[in-house]
Protein backbone atom coordinates (compact mmCIF):
# COMPACT_ATOMS: atom_id res chain seq x y z
CA UNK A 1 0.00 0.00 0.00
CA UNK A 2 2.86 2.39 0.80
CA UNK A 3 4.13 2.12 -2.78
CA UNK A 4 1.12 4.07 -4.07
CA UNK A 5 1.72 6.91 -1.60
CA UNK A 6 5.45 6.96 -2.42
CA UNK A 7 4.66 7.14 -6.13
CA UNK A 8 2.43 10.14 -5.44
CA UNK A 9 5.13 11.82 -3.35
CA UNK A 10 7.69 11.34 -6.11
CA UNK A 11 5.30 12.76 -8.66
CA UNK A 12 4.84 15.80 -6.44
CA UNK A 13 8.61 16.25 -6.21
CA UNK A 14 8.95 15.94 -9.99
CA UNK A 15 6.36 18.72 -10.34
CA UNK A 16 8.46 20.99 -8.12
CA UNK A 17 6.23 20.41 -5.12
CA UNK A 18 6.50 19.05 -1.61
CA UNK A 19 7.08 15.27 -1.71
CA UNK A 20 4.29 13.95 0.47
CA UNK A 21 1.79 11.50 -0.95
CA UNK A 22 -1.29 9.70 0.27
CA UNK A 23 -3.86 7.15 -0.80
CA UNK A 24 -7.22 6.12 0.60
CA UNK A 25 -8.00 2.42 0.30
CA UNK A 26 -11.38 0.78 0.62
CA UNK A 27 -12.05 -2.20 2.89
CA UNK A 28 -11.53 -4.49 -0.12
CA UNK A 29 -8.07 -3.05 -0.84
CA UNK A 30 -9.03 -0.99 -3.88
CA UNK A 31 -7.72 2.57 -4.18
CA UNK A 32 -10.59 5.02 -3.62
CA UNK A 33 -8.39 8.07 -4.16
CA UNK A 34 -4.72 9.01 -4.31
CA UNK A 35 -2.98 12.35 -4.26
CA UNK A 36 -0.03 14.44 -3.22
CA UNK A 37 0.69 17.78 -1.63
CA UNK A 38 -0.29 20.55 -4.07
CA UNK A 39 0.75 23.71 -2.23
CA UNK A 40 3.21 24.76 -4.93
CA UNK A 41 1.46 23.31 -7.97
CA UNK A 42 -1.97 24.84 -7.25
CA UNK A 43 -0.96 27.58 -4.80
CA UNK A 44 -3.31 25.72 -2.48
CA UNK A 45 -2.34 25.48 1.19
CA UNK A 46 -5.23 23.11 1.97
CA UNK A 47 -4.03 20.28 -0.24
CA UNK A 48 -1.74 18.19 1.94
CA UNK A 49 -1.09 14.68 0.67
CA UNK A 50 -3.80 13.04 2.74
CA UNK A 51 -6.39 15.76 2.07
CA UNK A 52 -5.68 15.45 -1.62
CA UNK A 53 -6.20 11.67 -1.56
CA UNK A 54 -9.42 12.14 0.43
CA UNK A 55 -10.66 14.75 -2.02
CA UNK A 56 -9.84 12.61 -5.03
CA UNK A 57 -11.85 9.75 -3.53
CA UNK A 58 -14.93 11.93 -4.00
CA UNK A 59 -18.02 11.83 -1.84
CA UNK A 60 -18.33 8.64 0.17
CA UNK A 61 -21.33 7.72 2.26
CA UNK A 62 -19.14 5.92 4.79
CA UNK A 63 -15.45 5.52 5.54
CA UNK A 64 -15.94 2.33 7.51
CA UNK A 65 -13.08 -0.07 6.91
CA UNK A 66 -11.00 2.42 4.91
CA UNK A 67 -7.25 2.93 5.32
CA UNK A 68 -5.35 6.16 4.76
CA UNK A 69 -1.78 5.54 3.66
CA UNK A 70 0.66 8.43 3.83
CA UNK A 71 4.40 8.80 3.35
CA UNK A 72 4.68 11.04 6.45
CA UNK A 73 3.07 11.26 9.88
CA UNK A 74 -0.18 13.21 9.40
CA UNK A 75 -0.22 16.79 10.68
CA UNK A 76 -3.10 17.95 12.95
CA UNK A 77 -5.14 18.99 9.92
CA UNK A 78 -4.88 15.57 8.28
CA UNK A 79 -5.16 13.75 11.61
CA UNK A 80 -8.39 15.65 12.21
CA UNK A 81 -9.58 14.54 8.78
CA UNK A 82 -9.00 10.89 9.70
CA UNK A 83 -10.78 11.24 13.04
CA UNK A 84 -13.76 13.23 11.78
CA UNK A 85 -14.57 10.87 8.93
CA UNK A 86 -14.01 7.68 10.87
CA UNK A 87 -11.20 6.36 8.70
CA UNK A 88 -10.31 3.21 10.61
CA UNK A 89 -6.64 2.78 9.91
CA UNK A 90 -3.62 4.91 9.05
CA UNK A 91 -0.44 3.48 7.55
CA UNK A 92 2.50 5.89 7.87
CA UNK A 93 5.78 5.77 5.96
CA UNK A 94 7.76 7.55 8.64
CA UNK A 95 7.51 9.91 11.62
CA UNK A 96 11.18 10.84 12.01
CA UNK A 97 11.25 14.04 9.97
CA UNK A 98 7.85 15.21 11.24
CA UNK A 99 5.84 14.02 14.21
CA UNK A 100 2.14 14.77 13.73
CA UNK A 101 -1.06 13.59 15.38
CA UNK A 102 -0.79 9.83 14.94
CA UNK A 103 -0.55 9.10 18.69
CA UNK A 104 -3.70 11.15 19.25
CA UNK A 105 -5.41 9.10 16.55
CA UNK A 106 -4.29 5.90 18.21
CA UNK A 107 -5.68 7.11 21.55
CA UNK A 108 -8.98 7.78 19.79
CA UNK A 109 -9.51 4.34 18.32
CA UNK A 110 -7.73 4.57 14.98
CA UNK A 111 -5.39 1.69 14.13
CA UNK A 112 -1.98 3.23 13.42
CA UNK A 113 0.77 1.37 11.58
CA UNK A 114 4.11 3.19 11.59
CA UNK A 115 6.51 1.68 9.05
CA UNK A 116 9.73 3.67 9.60
CA UNK A 117 10.58 3.33 5.90
CA UNK A 118 14.15 4.47 5.06
CA UNK A 119 13.15 5.63 1.57
CA UNK A 120 10.47 7.94 2.99
CA UNK A 121 12.89 9.30 5.60
CA UNK A 122 15.52 10.02 2.94
CA UNK A 123 13.02 11.73 0.63
CA UNK A 124 11.84 14.15 3.32
CA UNK A 125 15.32 14.69 4.80
CA UNK A 126 16.62 15.74 1.39
CA UNK A 127 13.61 17.95 0.73
CA UNK A 128 13.74 19.73 4.09
CA UNK A 129 17.48 20.37 3.66
CA UNK A 130 16.89 21.79 0.17
CA UNK A 131 13.74 23.86 0.88
CA UNK A 132 13.37 24.62 4.60
CA UNK A 133 11.31 27.76 3.80
CA UNK A 134 8.72 25.81 1.84
CA UNK A 135 8.60 23.04 4.41
CA UNK A 136 8.01 25.45 7.28
CA UNK A 137 5.30 27.22 5.30
CA UNK A 138 3.57 23.88 4.71
CA UNK A 139 3.33 23.05 8.42
CA UNK A 140 2.61 26.57 9.63
CA UNK A 141 5.94 27.22 11.34
CA UNK A 142 6.83 30.91 11.40
- Closest approach, Cβ 1 to its own copies, in A, equals 21
C-alpha dist (Å) from residue 9 to 43, 44, 105, 110, 142: 17, 16, 23, 24, 24
- Closest approach, Cβ 6 to its own copies, in A, equals 22
Q: Which is nearer to its own copies, 28 or 133 (CB)?
A: 133
Q: Which is nearer to its own copies, 3 or 58 (CB)?
A: 58
Instruction: Decide if 97 contacts 124 (C-beta within 8 A).
Output: yes
Ramachandran bin of 130, using left for φ above 0, alpha for ψ from -120 to 50, beta for the remaining angles: alpha
Measure CA of the first residue to CA of the last residue in the chain; give whole Å.
34
Binding site for its own copies (CB under 8 A): 39, 43-46, 51, 54-55, 57-64, 75-81, 83-86, 101, 137, 139-140, 142
Nearest C-alpha neighbor of 37 from the set 53, 54, 20: 20
State the angle between helix axes of 2-14 and 49-56 in degrees (0 to 180), rounded to the nearest 10. Answer: 110
- Closest approach, Cβ 98 to its own copies, in A, equals 11
- Closest approach, Cβ 135 to its own copies, in A, equals 13
Active site positions, annotated: 50
Amino acid sequence: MLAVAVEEARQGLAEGGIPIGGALFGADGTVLGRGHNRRVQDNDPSMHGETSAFRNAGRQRSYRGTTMVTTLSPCWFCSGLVRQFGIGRVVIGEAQTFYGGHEWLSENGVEVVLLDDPGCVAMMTDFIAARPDLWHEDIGVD
